[in-house]
């Protein structure tokens, strides 16, 4: 009897990292004026800034009821190599990892690493 090969989930890069901030305008100015980032898109409580080909997202914690602690990270989003979304989700479940989705977006997966850091896999090959 042969052992079945487990699906290797392959990421191709970091899409974005989300940082909780206390004051969106102040943080946005810091990242743009000091570090040269530019706006990708934004709303009244968040700003996604270009950092090369990746993004740093700033989420204003107070506007969504979150208390910011020093060094607070919301999540890191990783780009996935094109593969079957369902196979990827099944592979994570196979490892006992609780998988969450995002309402209205069937192409991303949220889960926690062993230390409780929230990760997001973006499967952009799905039409």
- pLDDT tens digits for range 73-107: 889 988 887 667 788 888 889 989 999 888 887 77
Q: pLDDT-derived band of residue 37, with 50, 70 and 90 as boundaries?
A: very high
Cα 38 off chain centre by:
19
Would you state the pLDDT for residue 3?
Answer: 65
Q: Are residues 71 and 90 in the same domain?
A: no
* DSSP 3-state of 64: helix
Would you state the pLDDT for residue 4?
Answer: 74
Q: pLDDT-derived band of residue 34, with 50, 70 and 90 as boundaries?
A: confident
Cβ contact 50:38 at 8 Å = yes
Q: Are residues 64 and 31 in the same domain?
A: yes
Q: Are residues 66 and 42 in the same domain?
A: yes
Whether residue 1 lies inside any domain: the answer is no
Whether residue 6 lies inside any domain: the answer is no
Would you state the pLDDT for residue 127?
Answer: 37
Owning domain of residue 53: 13-76
- The DSSP string of 35-58 is T--EEEEE-SSEEEEEETTEEEEE
Whether residue 65 lies inside any domain: the answer is yes
- pLDDT tens digits for range 44-61: 999 999 999 999 999 998
Cβ contact 123:84 at 8 Å = no
Q: Are residues 52 and 91 in the same domain?
A: no
Q: Are residues 18 and 67 in the same domain?
A: yes
- Mean of all residue pLDDT scores within the chain: 85
Would you state the pLDDT for residue 64?
Answer: 80
Which stretches does DSSP call E strand in the chain? 11-21, 38-42, 46-51, 54-60, 73-80, 100-102, 105-112, 118-122
Would you state the pLDDT for residue 126?
Answer: 42
Cβ contact 100:92 at 8 Å = no
- Number of domains composing the chain: 2
CATH number at residue 23: 3.10.180.10
């Amino acid at each position: 009897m042969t052992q079945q090969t487990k699906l290797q989930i392959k990421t191709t890069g970091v899409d974005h990292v989300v940082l909780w901030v206390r004051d969106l305008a102040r943080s946005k100015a810091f990242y743009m004026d000091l570090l040269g980032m530019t706006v990708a898109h934004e709303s009244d409580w968040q700003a996604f800034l270009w950092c090369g080909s990746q993004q740093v997202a700033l989420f204003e914690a107070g506007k969504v009821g979150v208390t910011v602690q020093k060094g607070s990270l919301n999540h890191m989003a990783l780009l996935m190599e094109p593969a079957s979304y369902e196979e990827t989700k099944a592979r994570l479940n196979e490892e006992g990892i609780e998988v969450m989705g995002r309402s209205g977006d069937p192409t991303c997966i949220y889960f926690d690493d062993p230390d409780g850091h929230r990760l997001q896999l973006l499967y952009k090959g799905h039409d």
